[in-house]
Structure 1
Amino acid sequence: MSINEQALGKLVHDLQSKLQEATRMVASVQAQIQAREREKKLSELTNKELSSLQADTVTYKSVGKMFVQEPLNDLTKELSERAKDMTKELEALDKKRIYWERNKTEAQGNLQELIRQIQQAQGA
């Protein structure tokens, strides 16, 4: 194997590794986005249900394996804050997803271009 073939082999391997990492990160970020969306939706739905209750209704908050009495106003405020936090996290995760998708597309393009050039060189 010549030095040129070794360099090409290393380059192909590096591009494949970069593509695999980008693919893995895109999947990871998408899973995180789905989890945050579920949590946000749950907070909003719970808040909506609590808003239909009277102000003097006794409410409880789950803390581990027990329930602690919590004023309705505090509970709705906490759920609203959690939904806002999830929105901010979703925005950050979406930027992260776009970054990794761009890296993935770039790595795919570079790998395809390198393979095309290798095939042309072998054909010539």
Structure 2
Amino acid sequence: MSINEHALGKIVHDLQSKLQEATRMVGSVQAQIQTREREKRLSELTNKELSSLQPDTVTYKSIGKMFIQEPLPQLTSELTERATEMGKDMEALDKKRIYWERQKTEAQGNLQELIKQIQNAQGA
């Protein structure tokens, strides 16, 4: 194996590693976005159900395996804040997803281009 072939092999390996990393990160970020969407939807639905109650209704907030009594206005405020926070998190994660998808596309393109160049060089 010549030095040139060795260098090409290393470059191909590096591009494959970048592609695998980008693919893994896109999947991870998409899973995080889905989790945030689910949490946001749950907060919004719970808040919607609580809005039909009288303001003096006794409500409880779940903390782990126990429940703590909490005034209805405070509970709805927390749920609204949580839904807003999840929305902001989803926006940030979407930016990350776009970045990693761009990295993935770039790595795929570079890898395909390199393979074509290698094939052309071998054919010549």
TM-score, reference length from structure 1 = 0.99
Return the alpha-carbon distance in structure 2 between the equivalents of residues 20 and 110 of structure 1. Answer: 13
Amino acid at match of 2:22: A
**Do residues 25 (structure 1) and 25 (structure 2) align?**
yes
Q: Which runs of 4+ in 1 moved over 2 A?
A: none
Return the alpha-carbon distance in structure 2 between the equivalents of residues 63 and 111 of structure 1. Answer: 50
Amino acid at match of 2:59: T
Return the alpha-carbon distance in structure 1 between the equivalents of residues 85 and 60 of structure 2. Answer: 22
**Do residues 98 (structure 1) and 98 (structure 2) align?**
yes
Equivalenced residue count is 124
Return the alpha-carbon distance in structure 2 between the equivalents of residues 44 and 98 of structure 1. Answer: 26
Deviations 1:24-83 (A, max 9, x none): 000000000000000000000000000000111100001121111000000000000000
Amino acid at match of 1:69: Q
Unaligned 5+ segments in structure 1 are none
Question: Secondary structure of 1:67's partner?
Answer: strand
Deviations 1:81-110 (A, max 9, x none): 000000100000000000000000000000
Question: Secondary structure of 2:61's partner?
Answer: strand
Return the alpha-carbon distance in structure 2 between the equivalents of residues 101 and 117 of structure 1. Answer: 24
Return the alpha-carbon distance in structure 1 between the equivalents of residues 90 and 52 of structure 2. Answer: 28
Unaligned 5+ segments in structure 2 are none
TM-score, reference length from structure 2 = 0.99
Return the alpha-carbon distance in structure 2 between the equivalents of residues 63 and 120 of structure 1. Answer: 64
RMSD: 0.4
Question: Secondary structure of 2:57's partner?
Answer: coil
**Do residues 59 (structure 1) and 56 (structure 2) align?**
no
